């Protein structure tokens, strides 16, 4: 599966990444990453983000963090984890241009994916961002549905996933299927991104 010719990737300027399952390894079951010691970057993520940075793309994380609502970690804990993430990426010449977090339970907000509040916040902060020049990369149906609702092109990272039915629905909605962020950048983006 690939992007069709009606939606070329040469106009992508904003890449929105889910965190758990795209940037770092998602804990099994219903567990959460609650501290930096549990945060395991997926192979090739630093270099993939650095390539996107060098291409001129803004790289923005949009992440549901329900563990805050459950009291498993605080917003301060989350900020510290994200500060550490930024430091590790910087050591490899990579950076995140923004991180947007939903700390809520279902039904308490308009920002928990598949709702679009996190993207709307980012679009306010990055006025040049539009659905037409943005791409969302996620590993779940929630991520893909949020992208579709925003009118953005969508990429599903196939890995440990939801139920077969949920995974199949995400596959049907996504424009592209990949096994990692590195694969997306190398196979679909890098050749068209050198300006």
Helix (H) or strand (E) holding 15: strand 14-17
- Bridging pattern class, strands 98-102 and 176-178: unpaired
What Cα–Cα distance (Å) separates residue 125 from each residue in 24, 30, 98, 175?
Answer: 25, 32, 9, 26
Structure tokens at 156: 């599903």
Give the burial class of 48: count Cβ atoms within 10 A of its Cβ; 0-12 exposed, 13-18 middle, 19 or more buried: buried
Give the active site residues.
Answer: 18, 20
What count of other Cβ atoms lies within 10 Å of the Cβ of residue 12?
23
Structure tokens at 80: 């510290």
């Amino acid at each position: 599966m690939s992007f069709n010719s009606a939606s070329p990737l040469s106009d992508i300027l904003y890449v929105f990444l889910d965190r758990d399952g795209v940037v770092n390894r998602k804990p099994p079951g219903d567990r959460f990453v609650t501290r930096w010691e549990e945060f395991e970057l997926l192979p090739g993520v630093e270099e993939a983000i650095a390539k996107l940075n060098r291409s001129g793309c803004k790289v923005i994380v949009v992440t549901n963090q329900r563990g805050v609502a459950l009291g498993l970690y605080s917003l301060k804990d989350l900020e510290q984890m994200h500060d550490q993430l930024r430091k590790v990426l910087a050591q490899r010449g990579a950076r995140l241009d923004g991180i947007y977090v939903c700390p809520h339970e279902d039904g308490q907000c308009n920002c928990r994916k598949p709702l679009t509040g996190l993207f709307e916040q980012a679009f306010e902060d990055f006025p040049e961002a539009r659905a037409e020049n943005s791409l969302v990369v996620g590993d779940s149906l929630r991520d893909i549905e949020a992208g579709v609702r925003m009118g953005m092109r969508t990429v599903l990272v196939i890995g440990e996933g939801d139920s077969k039915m949920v995974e199949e629905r995400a596959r049907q909605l996504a424009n592209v299927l990949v096994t990692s962020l590195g694969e997306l950048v190398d196979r679909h983006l890098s050749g068209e991104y050198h300006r």
